[in-house]
Homo-oligomer: A and B are copies of this chain.
Amino acid sequence: KMTSKKVVELFYDVVSPYSWLGFEVICRYRNVWNIDLKLRPAYLGGVMQGSGNKPPGVIPNKFMYMGKDLTRLSEYCEVPMQFPSDPFEVMFKKGSLSAMRFVTAVQAKEKSGDRQVEQISRELWRRIWSQDEDITEPASIAQAAVKAGIPEGAVKELLELSKSKEIKDKLKLSTQEALDYGAFGFPLLVCHVDGKPEIFFGSDRFELMAHCIGEKWLGPKPDKSTAKL
């Protein structure tokens, strides 16, 4: 029965490496848990500004730990992550506004399901967080789109569309929705349980989240885990 599926929304931005981990893990659970996953591309810069949160300053111990933590997690979760040569430039200077507008345009045009949104998001993450490549230039976004399986003709249209007021407003709206749920960073998972939203920040609350939605946590690679059972 479709209606018995619990809706789980994932708010994310491709500039955020922890969002990538959260994205891959929850995508794997789509067919393992009885959930209806809704991908919610949004703009991290807007969430930081709207919540009054500030990116962590240059605290050497914190920065070094984050590198170590992401390396270990990416290996454990099997997400092929690699630090870009200048993470601060990537995260705080160049940002992701045009990329997230493009993802929003893809979502607006995708007729059924979210296969293309999923694929373009993954390809954009791969560029920044695996291959140390740009995601701000139209040519960069187009390359990611083609790799995501979007036909070249459609890519041109989507690049145009992503500059429209309609799409800019749509991204603003999603970002505002995340803020209204209580976001102060990404990823943010919103589980609708008995009509109430339960929010989980970060990629490290899946075990707790499973408990809250009445499902079983099988680790970050549930397919392998179930294969073993």
Contacts and interface: CB of A to CB of B under 8 A. Distances in A.
A37 B65 CA distance: 22
Given A72-B208, A207-B207, A208-B72, A201 B51 contact: no
A181 B65 CA distance: 10
Q: How many copies of this chain?
A: 2
A214 to B, nearest CB: 13
Contacts of A117: none
B65 A184 contact: yes
Interface in A197-229: 199, 201-202, 204-205, 207-208, 211-212, 219
Nearest to A185: B62
Given A68-B199, A76-B211, A204-B205, A61 B219 contact: no
Interface string A148-181: 0000000000000000000000000000000100
A197 to B, nearest CB: 11
Contacts of A219: 207
Contacts of A2: none
A202 B73 CA distance: 14
Contact of A184 (B54, B62, B73, B76): B62
A52 B211 CA distance: 36
A61 B51 contact: yes
A contact residues, range = 20 to 34
Contact of A51 (B62, B73, B184, B207): B62
A69 to B, nearest CB: 7
Contact of A69 (B51, B53, B57, B201): B201
Given A204-B204, A219-B207, A65 B199 contact: yes
A62 B53 CA distance: 8
A208 B76 contact: yes
A144 interface: no
8 contacts: A51-B60, A52-B60, A53-B59, A59-B184, A61-B179, A69-B201, A73-B208, A202-B204
